[in-house]
Amino acid sequence: MNLIVIGVNHQTAPVGVREQFAISEARLPEAVKCLASQPGIEEAMIVSTCNRVELVARANGSNVDLQACLQKLYGFDPQPFRKYLYEYRERDAIRHVFRVTSSLDSMVVGEPQILGQVKEAYATARAVGAVNSQLDALLSRAFAVAKRVRTETAIAMSAVSIASVAVDLAKKIFGNLEGKSVYLVGAGKMCELAARHLAAHGAKKIYVGNRTYERAAALAAKFNGEAIVFDQLYDTVDRADIVITSTGAPHTIFRKEHGEKFLSRRRNRPMFFIDIAVPRDVDPEMNKLDGIFVYDIDDLQQVVASHMSDRRVEADRAEAIVQLEVDKFLARLQTLDVVPTIVSLQEHLETVRQAEIDRVRGRLGALTPEQEMAVEALSRGIINKIMHTPITTLKSAARESSESTTVIDLVRKLFNLRDVRKAEADEETVSEKTGAQR
Amino acid sequence: MPLIWLRVAVAFYAVGLVYSLLLLGKRGALLAKVVEPAVGFGLIFHFVSLVEYTVLVGRLSWASINYSESLLAFVAMVVFFIFFVGYRSTSLGIVIFPIVFLLTFASAVGQHPVTFASPALRSSWIFVHVVMIFTGYAGLFLSFGASLLYLMQERALKAKSSDGLLSKLPSLQTIDDIGYNSLLFGFPFMTFGLIAGSVLAIEKFGPLFFADPKILLSFIMWIVYMLLLYTRWNSGWRGRRAALLATFAFVIALGVWAANSLSRVHRFPPL
């Protein structure tokens, strides 16, 4: 398949480096197009979230250097960042995509947002025509695997999302959140999720400030909150006890001098900044002010890390599922190619024909070579006539990638071809095993 | 006669004192309407008392400690009213009212010291004084402890470490509330304890009772105590700054204890 994944994530690179590679939502379609148009690349997609940037590509040969494409994509020399990058190929790449989508590679293992983020990235890549047959198959499988992991393990149930970590921290500062106010800077999904958590724990007033006022108003309406014109940001932020920032701004929005002003206006009542934006919106220097607490996405990870060990067991089970799915997918990839199916179909019918001839040979008695040839020709003719339609259908289905798996499966089932049965048998034994573990 | 006017003024100033205590406890609204006329009347009676005293003596008697106390309190009140007219805010009163009350009270009592009818009454008065002062100390110590905990919790949150300590300490808000409320609880006791002590000391040593090192230090501690409350109330001082101030008050409190050996009043009999 010649699948390649390169990327940076929260484990390999600090937020400062991830900031360099992050691609904003607005730039994403252009970037995907750019990547897909690189020489040797057939299909591509890019997942860019605050915790990771993944470039997924299918090449037309095995010696395509995706890292070389980085320079074109980002306009800077990726050489100094090489140590933060990981690269996976083929089997490992499939496994990585499955793990990411199943939230096994997440900062908070089991958190649900990543699946949505990958789906969005996939939709974007599809929309610009950067994805077709094979990545399509990979991604739809990945989504199915993610679903399986969620339903078959308890990993998602015990998942501590970033939002709930934020709630815990806010409680450490403010005691309970009853009557506290929250300010969302940027109207992103993560912001919304965190705000929902805080509101569920008693936070009363929600303010939303966003560059596009309409989006702020729409989000504020969901919480019965107040939308604020972005120009008034610095005059209004100190109203809130908890500030969640997630803008796509390339530079920090809040710096130390702003923090000092907020504190004096708030008579030193503490403020909690949760910065989930990459690049960061809040200058880390602000954390040095008495009464201001700044947590960026990496800091949240540290807190989360302590919860990790509890879920180790569930995560191991999830890893086993992923492993199994990778094998299945690879097997499926091979059958994607119709030739083996045609061959096994021919072999199958040939054995049937031979068996039938052998069976009736006794009753026919001794045959002349001419008669022998006539029987041979007759049986072969019937087989070939019967095989003609399935083979042409298979061949045309191979050209229509979306149908090919269905048709191959159908043909294999109709003719009871051996590979399918073998795969199913394997699957049954494994699911029995995981069932026993549970 | 001037003493009667001064006593009336003291009674009015007492409203101011109670108001500042209530305000610190965020219950100021209870007396907000009464406090301005009350201290206003207090100032008028205070003025009358000062004028009459001056006329009676025939000159300004700087040398009299009672007179000086009264005059100082009067000037402080005048300054307060100038600010009040300018800014329409009584928040300065939080600091001014208790000091003015204490000064005028000392002046009034000093001019006519209390005599205890029986030794039993005197010793129970001492008992009340000691219990109140100790309760005030307890509030201060608790607040000091809380500010240290606050510092620890703040450090832990800032360092973003998720070790056991972070999860076991209560929230910053809770620690802060404990610190503030224990100060708030202790302050009236400390104040009335000092007043009770002053009455005793004036009875025994006359108007110059505060020259005693322990008593002087106690007053300084009381003022720091008040500043602690005021800065927290007015500017919301927390964390490092509040802890520093609390440490300061704590050190003075230790000094007050140690000053026993220097004090004429508080000498404990040898065991």
Task: Please state the domain extents for chain B.
Answer: 2-111, 119-262
* Amino acid at position B144, single letter: F
**A77 alpha carbon, distance to own chain's centre:** 27
**Where does CATH 3.40.50.720 sit in chain A?**
162-308
Tell me the pLDDT band of A391, cut-offs 50, 70 and 90.
confident
B214 touches chain A (CB under 8 A): no
Q: How distant is the Cα of B144 from the closest Cα of chain A, in angstroms?
A: 18
Task: Check whether A422 has a pLDDT greater than 60.
Answer: no
Task: Say what the pLDDT of residue B2 is.
Answer: 72
Q: Classify residue B48 as exposed, middle or buried by CB count within 10 Å of its CB (0-12, 13-18, 19+).
A: middle
Non-local (6+) Cβ contacts of A222 within 8 A are: A192
A291-304 mean pLDDT: 82
> Known catalytic residues of A?
50
Give me the residue from B154, B174, B235 closest to A268, CB to CB. B235
Q: Which residue of chain A is at minimal alpha-carbon distance from B231?
A: A267
User: Using a CB-CB distance cutoff of 8 angstroms, which residues of chain A are in contact with residue B241?
Assistant: 290
Q: Classify residue A97 as exposed, middle or buried by CB count within 10 Å of its CB (0-12, 13-18, 19+).
A: buried
Average pLDDT in chain A: 83
Does the distance separating the beta carbons of A293 and B158 come in below 8 Å? yes
Interface with chain A: mutation pick from B155, B160, B180, highest number of A CBs within 10 Å: B160
B173 touches chain A (CB under 8 A): yes
Backbone torsions φ then ψ of A41, nearest 5 degrees: -105, 125
Does the distance separating the beta carbons of A303 and B162 come in below 8 Å? yes
Does the distance separating the beta carbons of A175 and B236 come in below 8 Å? no
Predicted TM-score (pTM) of the model is 0.59
Q: Which residue of chain B is at minimal alpha-carbon distance from A301?
A: B160
Give me the residue from A174, A267, A293 closest to B173, CB to CB. A174
Q: Model confidence over A203-232: pLDDT tens digits?
A: 889 999 998 899 899 989 988 899 999 899
DSSP A48: E
* Alpha-carbon gap, residue B246 to A23, rounded angstroms: 50
Does the distance separating the beta carbons of A266 and B171 come in below 8 Å? no
A186-194 mean pLDDT: 79
Which fold, A3-152? Beta Polymerase; domain 2 (3.30.460)
Task: Say what the pLDDT of residue B267 is.
Answer: 60
- Residue B122, both tokens: 């005197």
ipTM: 0.72
Give me the residue from A171, A267, A302 closest to B171, CB to CB. A171
User: Using a CB-CB distance cutoff of 8 angstroms, which residues of chain B are in contact with residue A169?
Assistant: 157
Q: Which residue of chain A is at minimal alpha-carbon distance from B237?
A: A268
Q: How distant is the Cα of A56 from the closest Cα of chain B, in angstroms?
A: 34
Interface with chain B: mutation pick from A286, A288, A290, highest number of B CBs within 10 Å: A290
* Alpha-carbon gap, residue A183 to A274, rounded angstroms: 10
Lowest-pLDDT range of A17-26, A166-175, A327-336, B222-231: A327-336
Task: Say what the pLDDT of residue A418 is.
Answer: 65
**Where does CATH 3.30.460.30 sit in chain A?**
3-152
User: Using a CB-CB distance cutoff of 8 angstroms, which residues of chain A are in contact with residue B231?
Assistant: none
Residue-level pLDDT, tens digit, chain B, 271 residues? 677 888 888 888 988 888 888 877 777 677 777 888 888 889 898 888 888 888 887 777 666 777 888 888 888 888 888 888 887 777 778 888 888 888 888 888 777 776 777 777 888 888 888 899 889 988 988 888 888 888 888 888 888 765 544 557 788 888 888 888 888 889 889 988 988 888 888 777 776 777 778 888 888 888 888 888 888 887 778 777 888 888 888 888 888 877 776 766 666 555 5
Q: A162-308 in CATH: which number?
A: 3.40.50.720
